[in-house]
A and B are shown apart, each in its own frame.
Chain A
Amino acid sequence: MLFLLIKNFISSRVVLTGMLIVLLAGLIGIYNGKRHLERLQASIEQTAHFQQEHIGRNIQYHNKDMGLLLYYLRFAYINQVNPVNGLSIGQRDVNSSIQFINIRNLEAQKYDTDLYNPVNLLAGNLDLGFVLVYLFPLLIVAVTYNLLSEEKEGGTWPLLAVQSHSPVRVLLQKLAVRAMAIFALLALLFCIAVPVLSIPINQLLLAVIGLSVFYLLFWFAVCFWVVSWKRSSAGNAASLLTVWVLLTFILPAGINNYITAKYPVPEALATTVEQREGYHAKWDQDKRPTMESFYAHYPQFRKYPLPDKQFSWLWYYAMQQGGDDDAREQVAEMKSKLRQRAAASKRIGLLVPTLHTQLHLNTLGQADLENHLGFLDSTERFHERLRLHFYPSIFEEREARAENWSRFQPEYFTENPDLDRMALYLPLVLITGVLVALCWFNFRRVMN
């Protein structure tokens, strides 16, 4: 019996074409992920190389003037890329993974975006995440929507119902055959992706696989639930497609509109205005208040008094510092706004499996908004370290030669994602459970 079910299923032309299309899309997705990773890697290497060249050239010109040298010098700070990012590109295409900054006003530098074609972003990335979230469900719909109705419409159902003790069991067996095929396809894609993207086999990868499996199980439950309504094939197909559109487009897009309108971020533009005013206004003001707030920020530098000159680097960097300090409030507000957005998305995502899966794939790939905010925070600390290191040499007007420049290689930010399995799987498991219960109820009511 089971053998017959398998044979029947595999010989279907629709099934085979569908699986081939998804396989092909998956391979393209893996390839795109690989290209994305390679591109990032190339950028990182290029930055490291350029930094050396750049430091070397500038020391040559400005050896005697440490203040001027540090005006020009830029240092790379890199958001480490996890190979899992190749599965889900997330926000890494729009948010730059490399900060290449000087020790001046940080607020004027850290939001600089990567170069990208906005039309590409609008179209969306064709990565494995897309194949998983969008195309796999369609495939599941295509192989299950007529699970019962094809038997009814083909007139084989009464026969099956009479022959078998439990007709639902036949349906479950049919479903199991389909599930095995789909999961085999998923396994195949992962088996290809892991070596191609050089993903280490660890807890992180397991979490990604676990998330994918639970997500697909959810879709099987949805399909079985619709099948349990015992409607016609056309009715089922239309219903399931509507559910698919609802989950992959209408709900996420609607929620996105809501979040965009609910949490506008005027603070971002305010930051730009404030830091510029904060810094430039100080040129025209008395120098003492600028110095006072600088000393208040860094009591340890009080030992460097303001030289009696029209221009001094001490004053200049104190003004630059002032730009950052003046924008601080706006920056904090902006970050809290963005964290609110992230939290709201994840909260709503608990109820929308597509959203939940995509957001968490991004999180696991270290390509979500939180990762970027963490990177920005860490960039601030990196920038501060640079400042504290160079300020004394600038204020004491040391020669550039005195510094060990080979030390200044790109530094890395690594996020340690916390793998909260409960938060990852539970929402999917619960929704799947509810659907299974509904199926059971529907079948029990009429079939017994």
Chain B
Amino acid sequence: MRKSVLNLMAKQVVATAMGNKAVLLLMWLVVALMVYATITGVATFRTQTGIRKQFQQEVRKHWEEMPDKHPHRMAHYGYIAFRAKHPLSIFDFGVESYTGNAVFLEAHKQNSVNFSEASFSTGLLRFGEMSMATILQVLVPLVLFFIGFGLIATDRENGTLKLLLSQGASWKEIMTGRSLGLMVVAFTFLLAALLLLLTGMIVSSAGFTLDGSLRLLFLMLTYGLYLAIICVTAVVVSAVAARARAALAGLIGVWLLFAIVLPRTTQAIGTYLYPAPSRIAFETGVEKNILQLGDSHNPDDPYFKRLKDSVLKVHGATSIEELPFNYAGFQMREGERMSSEVYNRHQQALLRTYEQQNKVARLSAFLNPFAAVKHLSMAMSGTDFQSYMRFQQQTEAYRYRLAQHMNELQIKLVSNKKLLPADKPYSISSAHWKAFPDFSYQGLTGAAAIGAEALSLAALLFWAALLTVLVSSLSKKLKAV
């Protein structure tokens, strides 16, 4: 391929795009939307981060200020964990609006993560959110299709294609050149997005880290590849179509299928194939399993009776008051361990079901590059399903640690003697509360997040390879008329 021909082909594309008033209007509209998405994204990030930080600090302060008391009371006082937003969440909102933001962590009970933006929504949210990611994923391709549909088809219609070919330009050169030209337009959008994102990150004072920069770099590469795929698709369809009108109809069809129809359909198929339990079914399932093991609320439960007898036997005691440690704490520790094991088993099964539901959409990336970029983008922005699961798992782990720590304190420090109604309740020093660390969410590293999305990355590369092969095979077969 000759550089000068490619250059010429590409330049014509840019000139056509810039010369068309309607296209220019659309391009400016997209840029304006990007600005709007950045402003609202940053505003929401700042308020939400501020609110959550403030409450997280308040919760910690209250926790540390708790006076001397019985450790089990602290286990019930519990902790509240708030989900922190990833700095890049201003770029891609992902599933964040649909996941809860606060969870109350207490002994014996796994509470749901509540107060998602979706639960506060009027139904408006279901139309989608305006984030820079959705603009790049959905709207920019549409604009590129509007610019690209005629790039070869129009030349064919008005006979210039024949002229070009007779003057010595090869099909490969025409297609590559046109694609490159369209990519110039596409990358201009990407550059605008990058600049806006950087500005947004500075304004939102989220701070730059090495990990953040790696994520940002990878995001840009992903979107670059995605938009390149879109550009080549437009040119290929335009080259194959007999008329410009047919090319436009085909591209609109492709866009509707990829961006609107397939995402919903694949997810619906996943839900159909792997039905998930309702809350009540889940709760009754957990409770049933726990009751099978032993019911710590039942004073005559055989499991806990046996446990008591064996403990008494080991210590050569006749009653729990003779034991050298607090038996109630010991029993609760055992109960917490058992119930948490059962709960975690059910919870893991539930999350696995969800992952299976999502798998259909993830695999569809090989049919639909939109799905690939969507998953990669959410993963890089820390707003994907993986991050949601991690938050849930880490809060549950923290809850368990907290409950068991309080049980340990009770076992070691609280007397076994039964109190008389008028006695002062047992209590231990408040220094123990301060010694228990605060909750802090540990996100995936950028590299690990990329690794978790290897499938989507493979799908995107598959598409790039497929189109490269297609272009070279088409350039041998295509006719000028």
- Cβ 8 A contact of A126, one of B118, B256, B268, B280: B268
DSSP majority for the B interface? helix
Q: Is the CB of B40 within 8 A of A95?
A: no
How big is the B interface, by class? 35 or more
CA distance A284 to B146 in the complex (A): 69
A245 engages B142 (CB within 8 Å): yes
The answer, yes or no, to whether A268 is at the interface (CB within 8 Å) is: yes
Interface contact tally, CB-CB below 8 A: 254
Are B33's CB and A117's CB within 8 A?
A: no
Contact between chains at A273 and B55 (CB < 8 Å): yes
Number of A residues contacting the other chain (C-beta, 8 Å)? 92
User: Do A233 and B73 touch (CB < 8 A)?
Assistant: no
Contact between chains at B358 and A117 (CB < 8 Å): yes
Considering only CB atoms, which chain A residue lies closest to B114 in the complex? A111
Nearest CB in chain A to that of B62: its residue: A277
Measured between C-beta atoms, what is the minimum distance from A268 to chain B in Å? 4
A residues within 8 A CB of B98? 94, 116, 118, 121-122
Which of A32, A119, A338, A346 neighbours the largest number of chain B CB atoms within 10 Å of its CB?
A119
- Across the interface, which residues of B come within 8 angstroms of A338, CB to CB? 120
Residues of B within 8 A of A113 (CB): 100, 112-114, 116, 119
User: Complex formed: what's the CA distance from A100 to B361 in Å?
Assistant: 34
Verify if A392 is at the interface (C-beta below 8 Å from B): no
Give the CA-CA distance A258 to B52 in the complex, in Å.
Answer: 20
Contact of B278 with A by CB under 8 A = yes
Residue A384 lies at the interface, judged by CB distance under 8 Å to chain B: no
**In the complex, how many angstroms separate the beta carbon of B35 from the nearest chain A beta carbon?**
12
The CA-CA distance from A119 to B270 in the complex, in Å, is 11
Say yes or no: is B130 at the interface (Cβ < 8 Å to chain A). yes
Q: Is the CB of B357 within 8 A of A269?
A: no
Distance A368 CA – B123 CA, assembled complex (angstroms): 7
Is B264 a contact partner of A249 (Cβ separation < 8 A)?
no
B77 touches A237 (CB 8 A): no
Q: Given known contacts A272-B114, A284-B69, A368-B123, is B52 in contact with A115 (CB within 8 Å)? A: no
Which A247-279 residues sit within 8 Å CB-CB of chain B? Answer: 248-250, 252-261, 264-266, 268-270, 272-273, 276-277
Closest-by-CB residue of B relative to A232 is B245
Which residues on A sit within 8 Å (CB–CB) of B245? Answer: 233-234, 237
**Neighbour of A254 across the interface among B33, B62, B102, B249, CB < 8 A:** B33
- Asked if A115 meets B277 with Cβ closer than 8 Å, knowing A124-B126, A249-B127, A253-B129, the reply is yes
Question: Which residues does chain B contribute within 8 Å of A277, judged by CB atoms?
Answer: 62
Asked if B51 is an interface residue, CB under 8 A from chain A, the answer is: yes
Q: Which residues of B contact A260 (CB under 8 A)?
A: 40, 44, 97, 117
* B124 & A256 in contact (Cβ 8 Å cutoff): yes
Question: Do B279 and A115 have beta carbons less than 8 Å apart?
Answer: yes
User: A323 vs B354: C-alpha distance in the bound complex, in angstroms?
Assistant: 35
Q: Type the 1/0 row for B117-152, where 1 means its CB is closer than 8 Å to any CB of A.
A: 111111111111110001000110010001001100
**A359 part of interface (Cβ distance < 8 Å):** yes
A27 within 8 A of partner (CB): no
Known: A253-B134, A369-B121. A43 touches B281 (CB 8 A): yes
Closest Cβ of chain A to B234, distance in Å, is: 14
Identify which of A25, A43, A342 contacts B278 (C-beta below 8 A).
Answer: A43
Query: Do A276 and B36 form a contact, CB below 8 Å, given A108-B104, A249-B127, A257-B129?
Result: no
**When the two chains form their complex, are residues B271 and A237 in contact, meaning their CB atoms are under 8 A apart?**
no
Which of A25, A112, A130, A355 has the most C-beta atoms of chain B within 10 angstroms of its own C-beta? A112
- In the complex, which of the residues A248, A273, A308 contacts B58, with contact meaning CB atoms closer than 8 Å? A273
Chain B residues with a Cβ under 8 A of chain A: 22, 26, 33, 36-37, 40-41, 43-44, 47-48, 51-52, 55, 58-59, 62, 66-67, 69, 73, 76-78, 80, 82, 94-95, 97-102, 104, 111-130, 134, 138-139, 142, 146, 149-150, 244-245, 248-249, 252, 256, 260-261, 263-268, 270-272, 276-284, 297-299, 350, 354, 357-358, 361, 385, 388, 419, 421-425
What are 17 inter-chain pairs, A to B, with CB distance below 8 A? Answer: A35-B272, A43-B278, A72-B297, A90-B123, A91-B123, A112-B111, A113-B116, A121-B98, A123-B267, A126-B268, A234-B245, A255-B124, A268-B115, A269-B101, A272-B115, A284-B66, A369-B122
